[in-house]
Structure 1
Amino acid sequence: MVRLVMQQALSREWMEEVFERNRGKQYTRELMFSTVVDLMGLVALGLKPSLHAAAQASPELGVSLTALYDKVKRTEPEVVGALVRGSAERLAPVVKPMRQGRAPWAAGYVVRVLDGNHLAASEKRMKQLREFRGAALPGQSLVVYAPELDLVVDVVPAEDAHAQERALMGPVLEGVQPGELWLADRNFSTTRILFGIHDKKAAFVIREHGASPNPTQEEERREVGRVERGLVYEQAVRVEDETGRQLRLRRIELQLDEPTRHGETIIRLLTDVPAERMGAQEVAGLYRRRWSIESMFGRLESVLQSEVKSLGYPRAALFAFGVSVLAYNVLAVLQSAVEAEHRLEDSTIQVSSYYIADEVKFNYGGMMIALPEPTWQEYESQSAPELSRTLLGLAANVKVARLRKHPRKSKKKTKKEYVPGEVARRHVATARVLRGQEQT
């Protein structure tokens, strides 16, 4: 199933076309761009521990390791973004039939969740970093997630890890489509972004920043009811851009029963969704589901090799992240196929992407040896609906029990009191504690 989905999402001819359309100074001489993506994909899926190991095992590389790493560290961010967008467009018609019948997040809208992702500090292999004592951050990305398809549909990579997320919004706003509903946190609460989404005949639910866009109140707030976490209030407000244009919005205020981990007790949301289409309590509930993108980031980090610490050059690190996103989308399609074929949408049984990836790591290499390349050729001409049916047929053979998620129970919160340093640093022998022996 992995092999067939990758064949659909990342055909060699298509990847070379993407590279040629979006490259800047890069060019192809002996090393094909598709070969580099294939090698990095092996690392992302955990099939190889490093790019070096993947290259070592590749009989068709045909160039030196130095040439390979030069290609990787020069891959432009525009190419990475185009690769993610294009592959998501190719996979969306494959996964849509599998997810039919699921309740929409917001009736009448196509939901998009926006957030930023900062790559973790890299190793300091470059000479310029060796004397630097602090963390070396190789870059960041804006990520657009389609939760109803469980696909990442866009990535905007940025080499400057200290750049403001809102400053990277240009390409994202260009891609906004009519009928979409965008969820985002307060980093994106600016007049420019609110007007930019609204002007595209799309809608938004964005958490209000303390200082921006500083809307003008048009009425007193009024209580409209409760949700799981607190009281909900609503009021009409308006914002104005630099040209004097005005935009009337609803401010949804949630007064929390318990403070957030940052100590906040009030969350304010700005939305242009009409009240007749979505009530204030629905808006508050929908925004709470924005955390699905954080869950996706968690799976990227724990299931896939999304951050290769040995790749310190910003473009190399961003390229590795982009390929990991492609790998995530492949696994997400597989998960949707298994859930649809075994009718798990409304079941208490959940499928774990971790165990899916583990199965792939264990079996993929042997399969590729056992099944020669001609085996896959008959599937190359399949349309998206045909591939969807093929995947569902294969998913019927999957043993769901081996992929079942086992969520941990939530830990009871206990406040730790202050203790002196010598007590906090004291060692204990676990075996003695279990035997009830006194510690010395």
Structure 2
Amino acid sequence: MARLGLQRALDPAWIDELFEQEREAQYTRELLFSTTVEIMSLVAVGLRPSVHAAAKASPALPVSITALYDKISRTEPGLVRALVQGSARRLGPVVQPMLRKQPPSVDGYRLRIVDGSHLPASEKRLKPLRGFRGAALPGQSLVVYDPDTAMIVDLVPCEDAHAQERAIMETLLESAEPGELWIADRNFSTRAILTGWQRRGSAFLVREHGRNPNPSELEPAREMGRVETGLVYEQAVSILDESNTPLPLRRIELRLDRATEDGDTVIRLLTNVPAAHLTAEAVAQLYRKRWSIENLFQRLESVLNSEIRSLSQPRAALLAFGVAALAYNVLSVIATAVRIRHELDTGDIELSPYYLASEIRATYAGMMIAVPPEIWEGYDPLTPAQLSRELLKIATHVDPRAMRKHARGPKAPKKKGYVAGCVARRHVSTARVIKAGRVV
């Protein structure tokens, strides 16, 4: 299943054609862009521990490893975005037939959850950074996630790790379409972003920032009902668009029974979705789906190798993150096929992406040795619908119990406090502590 998904998402001819369409200053000599992406994908899914190891194991690499690193470090951010967008467009028609019996989260809308992801500090291998004691951040990305298909549908890479997410958002606004419902946290609660979505014909649901966009209240707040976390109120408000014309909005206020970790007792949401489409209670519950993108970021880090700290060049680190996003989409299609085929939505088994990826790593290399290439080539002509049926058929042989998620309760809080340096640096023999029953 993993091979068929990667084969569809990483078709070399499509990737090289994409490179020619989207490239700016880059060009092709001996090393094809498809070869570069294939090597990076081996690292992303954990089949190889590093780019260097993947390159050494690649018999088709026509250039030196130094030239490969050179190509990776010059990959333009626009190419990374096109690669992720294209993977979603190629895999979307494969997963849609599997989901035909499942209703969308909101009738008439395609959900788009947007959030920023900052890459962690890289190793300081670049000459200007070698004497620097602080952290060197290689970049960030705005990620757009579709919770209904469980796929990343867009990604905007940014080389400047200190750039504001609101500034990067302008690129995403240009691609917003009618029929989409964008969900975002308060970092995106600005007049420019909200009116930008409105101008593009998109709906939005955004948590209101304390000072922005400062809407005008048109009526007192009315109590509308209750959800599991608190009381829900609704209020008509408005903001001014670019032409100073009032834009009417709904403010949904959730007064929490218990404060959040940040100490917030009230959450205010702004939306342009009509009440006929979503009640106030439904809006409050829908916003909770925003946390699914936080789970996505955690999976990209723990399940896939999305953060290669040895890649100090921003463009190289962003390419690695983009290829990991593409691999996540493939993993998501596999998980959907298993979930639908075994009807896990009505059972007590939830698939673990970690165990699913681990199973792929354990069997992939041996399978590629045992199965001749011409067998895989026979799947290339399949239409998306045919490939969807084939994946469901293969999913019959998967035992979901071996890949179930093991939920656990919250961790017990640990006591924190100051101790002297000599105490913190002290070390003991664990075997002696066990024998004595205490730290001596």
SS, match of residue 376 in structure 2: helix
What residue is the counterpart of 1:409 in the other structure?
409
Tell whether 2:365 aligns with 1:383: no
What CA distance in whole angstroms lies between the structure 1 residues aligned with 2:109 and 2:423? 52
For residue 183 of structure 2, what is the amino acid of its counterpart?
A: L
Tell whether 2:326 aligns with 1:326: yes
Is the 1:98–1:340 contact (alpha carbons within 8 Å) kept by the matching residues of 2? Answer: yes
For residue 210 of structure 1, what is the amino acid of its counterpart?
A: G
For residue 291 of structure 1, what is the amino acid of its counterpart?
A: W
What residue is the counterpart of 1:172 in the other structure?
172
What CA distance in whole angstroms lies between the structure 2 residues aligned with 1:317 and 1:438? 46
SS, match of residue 163 in structure 2: coil
Which ranges of structure 2 fall in alignment gaps of 5 or more residues?
A: none
Is the 2:46–2:361 contact (alpha carbons within 8 Å) kept by the matching residues of 1? Answer: yes
Tell whether 2:368 aligns with 1:368: yes
Aligned-residue offset at 1:84: 0.5
SS, match of residue 311 in structure 1: coil
Tell whether 2:27 aligns with 1:27: yes
What residue is the counterpart of 1:115 in the other structure?
115
For residue 382 of structure 1, what is the amino acid of its counterpart?
A: L
Aligned-residue offset at 1:214: 0.7
Q: CA offsets per residue over residues 218-249 of structure 1, 9 Å max, x none? A: 11112222211122211110000342122100
What CA distance in whole angstroms lies between the structure 2 residues aligned with 1:168 and 1:362? 39
SS, match of residue 183 in structure 2: strand
What residue is the counterpart of 1:396 in the other structure?
396
Q: CA offsets per residue over residues 261-292 of structure 1, 9 Å max, x none? A: 22222211100111121111111110011100
Aligned-residue offset at 1:101: 2.5
For residue 400 of structure 1, what is the amino acid of its counterpart?
A: P
Aligned-residue offset at 1:407: 1.2
What residue is the counterpart of 2:232 in the other structure?
232
What residue is the counterpart of 1:83 in the other structure?
83
SS, match of residue 355 in structure 1: helix
Aligned-residue offset at 1:431: 6.9
Is the 2:119–2:307 contact (alpha carbons within 8 Å) kept by the matching residues of 1? Answer: yes
What CA distance in whole angstroms lies between the structure 2 residues aligned with 1:14 and 1:98? 24
Is the 1:300–1:306 contact (alpha carbons within 8 Å) kept by the matching residues of 2? Answer: yes
What residue is the counterpart of 1:309 in the other structure?
309
Q: In structure 2, do the counterparts of structure 1 residues 210 and 14 end up closer, same or farther at CA, with 3 Å as the change threshold?
A: same
For residue 163 of structure 2, what is the amino acid of its counterpart?
A: A
SS, match of residue 345 in structure 1: helix
After superposition, residues 107-186 of structure 1 pair within 5 angstroms as 107-186=107-186
What residue is the counterpart of 2:297 in the other structure?
297
For residue 274 of structure 1, what is the amino acid of its counterpart?
A: P
For residue 243 of structure 1, what is the amino acid of its counterpart?
A: S
Moved over 6 A (4+): 426-436
* RMSD (Å) for aligned C-alpha atoms: 1.9
What CA distance in whole angstroms lies between the structure 1 residues aligned with 2:266 and 2:435? 47
Tell whether 2:71 aligns with 1:71: yes
Tell whether 2:341 aligns with 1:341: yes
Alignment: residue pair count: 439
Q: In structure 2, do the counterparts of structure 1 residues 432 and 250 end up closer, same or farther at CA, with 3 Å as the change threshold?
A: farther
What residue is the counterpart of 2:257 in the other structure?
257
What residue is the counterpart of 1:14 in the other structure?
14
What residue is the counterpart of 1:38 in the other structure?
38
* Identity percentage of aligned residues: 57
For residue 256 of structure 1, what is the amino acid of its counterpart?
A: L
SS, match of residue 344 in structure 2: coil
Is the 2:195–2:242 contact (alpha carbons within 8 Å) kept by the matching residues of 1? Answer: no
What CA distance in whole angstroms lies between the structure 1 residues aligned with 2:252 and 2:108? 20
What CA distance in whole angstroms lies between the structure 2 residues aligned with 1:101 and 1:410? 34
For residue 408 of structure 1, what is the amino acid of its counterpart?
A: R
Q: CA offsets per residue over residues 24-54 of structure 1, 9 Å max, x none? A: 1100000000000000000000000000000
Q: In structure 2, do the counterparts of structure 1 residues 52 and 435 end up closer, same or farther at CA, with 3 Å as the change threshold?
A: closer
SS, match of residue 250 in structure 1: strand
SS, match of residue 17 in structure 1: helix
Q: CA offsets per residue over residues 315-351 of structure 1, 9 Å max, x none? A: 0000000000010000000000001111112221011
What residue is the counterpart of 1:104 in the other structure?
104
What CA distance in whole angstroms lies between the structure 2 residues aligned with 1:139 and 1:67? 23
SS, match of residue 333 in structure 1: helix
For residue 188 of structure 1, what is the amino acid of its counterpart?
A: F
SS, match of residue 169 in structure 1: helix
SS, match of residue 253 in structure 1: strand
Is the 1:102–1:345 contact (alpha carbons within 8 Å) kept by the matching residues of 2? Answer: no
What residue is the counterpart of 2:57 in the other structure?
57
For residue 71 of structure 2, what is the amino acid of its counterpart?
A: K
SS, match of residue 406 in structure 1: coil
After TM superposition, the structure 1 stretch with the greater mean CA deviation from structure 2, 50-59 or 420-429, is: 420-429
After superposition, residues 280-291 of structure 1 pair within 5 angstroms as 280-291=280-291
Aligned-residue offset at 1:394: 0.5
After TM superposition, the structure 1 stretch with the greater mean CA deviation from structure 2, 383-392 or 259-268, is: 259-268
What CA distance in whole angstroms lies between the structure 2 residues aligned with 1:236 and 1:435? 68
SS, match of residue 223 in structure 2: strand
Aligned-residue offset at 1:398: 0.8
What CA distance in whole angstroms lies between the structure 1 residues aligned with 2:423 and 2:106? 49
Aligned-residue offset at 1:97: 1.4
What CA distance in whole angstroms lies between the structure 2 residues aligned with 1:424 and 1:59? 53
Aligned-residue offset at 1:196: 1.3
Q: CA offsets per residue over residues 385-437 of structure 1, 9 Å max, x none? A: 0000000010001122211111112345x584867658984878777887894
Q: Normalized against structure 2, the TM-score is what?
A: 0.95
Is the 2:349–2:401 contact (alpha carbons within 8 Å) kept by the matching residues of 1? Answer: no
